[in-house]
Amino acid sequence: MRVVPRRLFGRLTALLSALLIAGLVGAAPASADPAPTSLLTPPGANDWSCKPSAEHPYPVVLLHATFLNSSSWSALAPTLAQEGYCVYALNYGGSFVGGDLIGGLGPMAKSAEQISAFVDRVRTATSSEKVDIVGHSQGGMLPRYYMKFLGGADKVHSLVGVAPDNHGTTWGAIGWLIRFFPPATNLVCTSCTEQLRDSDFIKKLNEGGETLPGVHYTVIATKYDEFATPYTTAFLDGPDVKNITIQDVCPNNRVEHLGLPADPDAVHLVLNALDPEHATPVRCS
């Protein structure tokens, strides 16, 4: 049984509480030339000499969740590299206090600009026309903004969202913190208020259709999600979309939001989504 350790959940809640009370953190502006590597880079990622193979022609860009950083891909990144993919991981939306360590806090439109610059850097380094994107939570939803409003649709082959909050979130267990004092929340974690289900950002993102032609979409969600709530917020409506609830594949899997990027069954589903022609049955760990 894989659940969030009570200690880890408590630390995350305490972190958010401290940031909201302090009210001293502003979101860092988007960098026009994001750093290609950092101490947080997961194993197997950001080898800028990597050249995509004929078997895996699209480099994979990994995008972390709110409050996290690229080290959250420490299970998926090396797995992809071992499978022969060129893998890249970006730290985006950092704060002045947490830097890249506590990412995904800044205004999401600015974070999308960081994603745009990073994708272009990956495409240039690998001589690739398009990339595949795998994103967790905000990182699975935000690329849709990049594709819809920043010209990214022609640069993305497929988007795999791991528990993305595509229709916003009530924030589940920490929703009361997010809504307690909106001005402080917005100052400390702009993306937290922008990810609320009734936010202008979410309305703009989904207005006029949830998908774009030419992009393949896969969504992987868990019924035990406690942050992207309700978990059905993940699912997209449109052509070329595959929505997967992990418990429909592995009924005994109780993985939650934070554990999903490293969950063996979810990792298997990501591999299948990136290479559907060679997809294999999930063994259910």
Least confident stretch, 17-21, 58-62, 156-160: 17-21
Beta bridge partners of 221: 245
Number of domains present in the structure of the chain: 1
- Residue 1: inside a domain, yes or no? no
Q: What is the DSSP letter of 95?
A: B
The pLDDT of residue 98: 62
Q: Report yes or no on 13 lying in a domain.
A: no
- Per-residue pLDDT tens for 43-93? 999 999 999 999 999 999 999 999 999 999 999 999 999 999 999 999 999
The proportion of the chain whose per-residue pLDDT surpasses 90, expressed as a percent, equals: 77
Domain assignment present for 201: yes
Q: Which of 119, 111, 9, 14 is nearest to 59 (CA)?
A: 119
Query: Taking 80 as the threshold, does the pLDDT of residue 8 lie above it?
Result: no
Structure tokens at 251: 């009924």
Query: Is residue 257 in some structural domain?
Result: yes
Q: What would the pLDDT profile of 183-226 be if each residue is shown by its tens digit?
A: 778 888 999 999 999 999 999 999 999 999 999 999 999 999 99
Classified as helix, coil or strand, 22 is: helix
Nearest of 241, 205, 202 to residue 221 by alpha carbon: 241
| Res 14 pLDDT > 90 | no
What is the rounded CA–CA span in Å between residue 212 and residue 210? Answer: 7
Q: Could you list the residue range(s) of the whole structural domain that residue 260 is in?
A: 28-48+55-277
For the chain, give the mean pLDDT: 88
In a domain, 93, yes or no: yes
Higher per-residue confidence, 31 vs 225: 225
Three-class DSSP category at 43: coil
Asked whether residue 269 is assigned to any structural domain, the reply reads: yes
- Structural domain contains residue 259: yes
Q: CA separation (Å) from 18 to 65, 81, 174, 272?
A: 19, 37, 13, 40
Name the pTM for this structure.
0.88
Which CATH number covers residue 152? 3.40.50.1820
